[in-house]
Amino acid sequence: MPGTSLKIFISYRRADTAGYAGWLNYSLVPVFGQEQIFRDVNTLQAGVDFRDEIARTLRQCDVFLCLIGPGWATISDADGRRLDQPDDVLRLEVATALAPPKQVVIPILVQGASMPEPAELPEDIKGITALNAHVMSDGDWDRSIAQLVSRLEVIGAKKEAGSKLTGKEILRRFREDDHPPTWVGRNGGSKGKEFREDVATGRWADKAYEVEFSGGSPSRNWFSVATFAAAVEEGPDAP
pLDDT in tens, 176-225: 877 677 788 876 444 567 888 888 888 899 998 888 765 555 666 788 88
2: in domain = no
Q: Are residues 139 and 185 in the same domain?
A: no
Rounded to two decimals, what is the model's pTM?
Answer: 0.67
Tell which of 160, 187, 206 closes a domain. Answer: 160
Computed over every residue of the chain, the mean pLDDT equals: 84
The pLDDT of residue 40 is above 50: yes
The 3-state DSSP class for residue 2 equals: coil
**How many domains in the chain?**
2
- Which residues form the domain of 173? 164-234
Q: Are residues 154 and 87 in the same domain?
A: yes
CATH number at residue 33: 3.40.50.10140
More confident residue, 70 or 154: 70
The pLDDT of residue 136 is above 70: yes
Tell which of 136, 160, 184 closes a domain. Answer: 160
Tens digits of per-residue pLDDT, 72-125? 999 999 999 999 999 898 999 999 999 877 778 999 999 999 999 999 999 999
32-71: b (≥16 Cβ within 10 Å) or e: bbeebbbbbbeeeeeeeeeeeebeebbeebbbbbbbbbee
Query: Which residues lie below 8 Å from residue 96, measured CB to CB, with a gap of 6+?
Result: 54, 55, 58
pLDDT at 76: 95
Query: Which residues lie below 8 Å from residue 77, measured CB to CB, with a gap of 6+?
Result: none
